[in-house]
Chains A and B, each alone.
Chain A
Amino acid sequence: MSAGTLTRLDGPITFTLPVRALALLGVMTASVILLLVLSLMTGSYPLDVPGVLSTLFGAAPSETAETVVWQFRFPRTLAAFCAGALLALSGATLQNVTRNPLADPSLVGVSQGAGLAVVAAIVAFPELPQVLRPALAFAGALAVAALIQWIAMRRTSGATMRFILTGIGVAAFISAATSALLTYGQLDRAMSALGWLAGSVHAAGWSDVAVLALALAALVPALFAASRPMAAMRLGPEMAAGLGVRVVRARVALITLAVALAAAAVAMVGPLGFVGLVAPHMAHRLARSGVGLHLAHSAMTGAVLVGAADLAGRALFAPVQIPAGLVTAVIGVPVFVWLILRTQGRSQL
């Protein structure tokens, strides 16, 4: 595999696709479909497999089944899949570009930046249309990402380490500002913002799914088009420059792309912690592959992760619903700790 990595940069990616990685993609697609069916079945109005299938194909066994599946469970599940894929892609991109195994949109303050912008909008202008949220979230996330980069990059040595610590500090500041805003805002508005901040897909409707799908459709092609410079960046800035990549330009473009991916997800379903951290690493361990295929694996892993987290969150303590963001945090932290224990020596943070 390692011998094939560089030659893949010369030819079309499809020519050197390893069998195992392709098989993994198939397995993951199957898991997504399985999760979808399970998710449509589970809830306070349980359905069996034939019931779900017949509802999906237009012959619902009852009117309740029709409503439950089409109005609530289907959009919610799709939103979870899309958000998971977006966050995983964002995390994978950040990890590749910054060459930092711990980079994650929620760890480096990007999610919190998007969160602050959206909460400020909800509290100040409650009538704001839902569609404007991604734009606001993107603006907030980009501002915070730029701020962190600016603070961390002023000196060169040990920049990666400063990047993470700066992110933690800025994230603490922004979370406090968001909470202060919530105490200041009127209670009912604050409550709607509070539910969203925990990272939950429970209220997702078709309009949310549409926005998320639109973001995926717009950003994923751009990301795959940039997968070659990204592969070069993964080898380090010197190597990338040697391979003909304009490092600074590629870096700015890719980080902006990563921020946009995370912002779209955060805007619609709130900050789902640690998905962007965990999914790319899981994908990496399941199958080694080139950057392009790794991105696809990460996206699918992210979708499975958030879909499963949402399913677990509403099934475990039913009728109480645990937001998917909390489930992903509980799953994600042990992985995070494992990464701290493992990657430190090698990559010299």
Chain B
Amino acid sequence: MTTGVLPRHRSLVWAGPAAGIALLLLAFGWHISVGAKTIPLPTVAEALVAYDSSVFDHVVIVDLRLPRAVFAVLVGAALSVAGALMQGVTRNPLAEPGLLGLLIGASFAVVIVVGVFDLASPALMPLVAALGALVAAVAVWGIATAAPGGATPLTLVLAGAAVTAFLGALVTVANLLDEQTFEELRVWLTGSLAGRRIEVMWWALPWLASGLAVALATARQVTALAMGEETAVGLGMNVGRLKALVLFAVIALTASAVAIAGPMGFVGLVVPHAVRLFVGQDYRLVVPWSAIAGAGYLLLVDIAARMALAPVEISTGLVTALLGAPIFVWLVRARL
């Protein structure tokens, strides 16, 4: 266990984040500039810095495209950090909010509350999503630990697949029983950044911020825990409390992402693994870098989702699955 940052990372500490944030801003600008009408980057910057409501392009940028880009940044960062924490704490390279059933749990709860009880209040969405994610997480974890082999990557993913299949079927049943209410939810259920109301984001933001804060605060202990439970205990850490904190962070991050964009699979799997290739196993670096890289990744994926078959738009969640599933298969081959 190192107390400081390893020497080869020292240069990355300042130059790295600066470059990362610069690239993120570039992706952000590109995301806003592409669309039915391409708006040049200087105009994008102008609209953000000196907004002029009489210029049509500025209105398009600020009212239509900016929210979507912000959603992508928030959702990408939230899911990636959640995935990184899950991988560290469960010491399972395949842990991810989608594969372990958290996304479907959150979606199921939202579908039930919106569809059956007809409560579409944006303030309620993150709370409902958090409760659903929590129940699903507990169910998956319970099944996996009760299995004779314990909570191995295989049992966790199998339990996640079981919960996903079960709740997925129930969501479809709810869909069929009340088609009108679900017309709106159908696109959301594939993971989409389009057409979400901005109020949902404001209500999700506190959840996201608190999840991120807990993630950053516990990053040091997560590094120790990722080396094994004995190591963590030997270092004098309260493992139970740490796990509870991390669980809260994961649930809060997942819930805010689902409230904003619906279930977006494999983001939390792909980004932390890519980040670890560059910054190593220290979660003090993995967590912030996952946030930055996740935001950039989802911006780029969303650009692809809008451009690939233009003018038809593919749901962003489908593109993350198309990109993430092969990486999952590769991880299974390489790591297990």
Contacts and interface: CB of A to CB of B under 8 A. Distances in A.
A173 B321 contact: yes
B26 interface: no
Contacts, number: 127
A256 interface: no
Contacts of A192: none
Interface residues of A, number: 47
Contacts of B172: 198, 323, 326
Contacts of B317: 176
Given A169-B325, A169-B329, A340 B336 contact: no
| Interface residues of B, dominant DSSP | helix
Contacts of B159: 337, 340
B176 interface: yes
Contact of B165 (A102, A170, A183, A273): A273
- Most B CB contacts (10 A, CB to CB) among A164, A176, A177 go to A176
B123 interface: no
Contact of B314 (A184, A198, A321): A184
A12 interface: no
B309 interface: yes
Nearest to A147: B329
A151 interface: yes
Given A179-B315, A317-B177, A169 B332 contact: yes
Contacts of A151: 329, 333
| Interface residues of A, dominant DSSP | helix
B214 to A, nearest CB: 29
- Most B CB contacts (10 A, CB to CB) among A177, A320, A326 go to A326
Contact of A172 (B148, B155, B176, B321): B321
B318 A179 contact: yes
Contacts of B237: none
B157 interface: yes
B213 interface: no
B119 interface: no
Contacts of A342: 148
B165 A177 contact: no
A316 to B, nearest CB: 9
B166 interface: yes
Contacts of B173: 322, 326, 330
Given A162-B332, A333-B162, A169 B326 contact: yes
| Cβ-closest 5 pairs across A and B | A345-B148, A173-B325, A176-B321, A329-B169, A333-B166
Interface of B: 94, 143, 146-149, 153-155, 157-159, 161-163, 165-166, 168-170, 172-173, 176-177, 190, 265-266, 309, 312-315, 317-319, 321-322, 324-326, 328-329, 332-333, 336
